[in-house]
Structure formats: C-alpha cells, structure tokens
A = this chain, B = another copy of it.
Amino acid sequence: MATQMTEMLKGTLEGIVLAILAERSAYGYEITASLRERGFVDIAEGTIYALLVRIEQKGFVSVERVPSEKGPPRKVYSLDGSGRERLADFWESWDFLAAHIDALRPARASTPGALDTNPHRTNGENA
C-alpha cells in the first residue's frame, strides 16, 4: 500500500468500522466487503479481524454467533452504548484534525471557481 495510508489509518480505522456498525450490525467478512465497496480497497482482511477482537475487548460492541449457510458460523457485531460514545468521540477528534489540517493547505483554492481561469491579472500595487 501507499505507506502513507497505512500509517494514516492508524486510529481512524477503528472509527471507520464503528461508523459502519452504527448503520447496522455486521460480521467480519461482511465488514471487509463493505469497506471495499466504500473505496477502502486495500485494507487487509486480517486487519479487520484483529480490530474486531480489540473493540470487543474494549466493550464497544456485543457479539452474537449466528450459523451460516456457507462456512463457519458468523460473529455478528452490534454497536452498544459505549461504542456509540466512542464513535461520537471519533467524529469529534476527526473534525478537529480535519479542520486544523485543512488550515495548513497552501492558500490557493480556498474559494472555488476563482483561481485557475485567470490568465491576466489587474496587477495593481502588489508587494
């Protein structure tokens, strides 16, 4: 993977999975598939299972074993109260980070549609 993403996902991947579980309960394999559909194509399957173990141990989700027509029984994860709290914290942290990082972006392109179509400038008294 692009190396950058690998490190960037640390700390955010948990929130991503929590957000998916907030929509509806799901099992590991399903979550992996859901991530791929949503554009997170390069996330390893093993990563998700490890993460699910962690959030279960932290008590963010409850687990129910459900028999499957194909393969071994599924472990269906459901977000519980503290999981929702954690998710709320995630969005708060994410919003903070996103806002502050966006402020670091080079000055151009802050107001869209006022930049690249500018072949002639009025060149008044500039610095």
Chain A: interface secondary structure? Answer: helix
CB neighbours (8 Å) of A97 from chain B are 5, 8-9, 12
Among candidates B6, B10, B100, residue contacting A38 with C-beta atoms closer than 8 Å: B100
- The CA-CA distance from A39 to B95 in the complex, in Å, is 13
How many residues of A are in contact with the other chain, CB < 8 A?
33
Whether A104 contacts B16 by the Cβ 8 Å rule is yes
Residue of B nearest to A17 (CB): B104
Interface string of A80-104 (1 = CB under 8 A from B): 0000000001110110111011011
Whether B101 contacts A94 by the Cβ 8 Å rule is yes
Asked if A20 is at the interface (CB within 8 A of a chain B CB), the reply is: yes
Given contact pairs A100-B38, A104-B20, A93 touches B4 in the complex (Cβ within 8 A)? yes
Asked if A22 is at the interface (CB within 8 A of a chain B CB), the reply is: yes
**Which residues from 1 to 46 on chain A have a C-beta closer than 8 Å to any C-beta of chain B?**
2, 4-12, 14-16, 19-20, 22, 38-40
Asked if A121 is at the interface (CB within 8 A of a chain B CB), the reply is: no
6 A-B pairs within 8 Å (CB atoms) are namely A4-B93, A7-B10, A7-B11, A38-B103, A39-B96, A39-B103
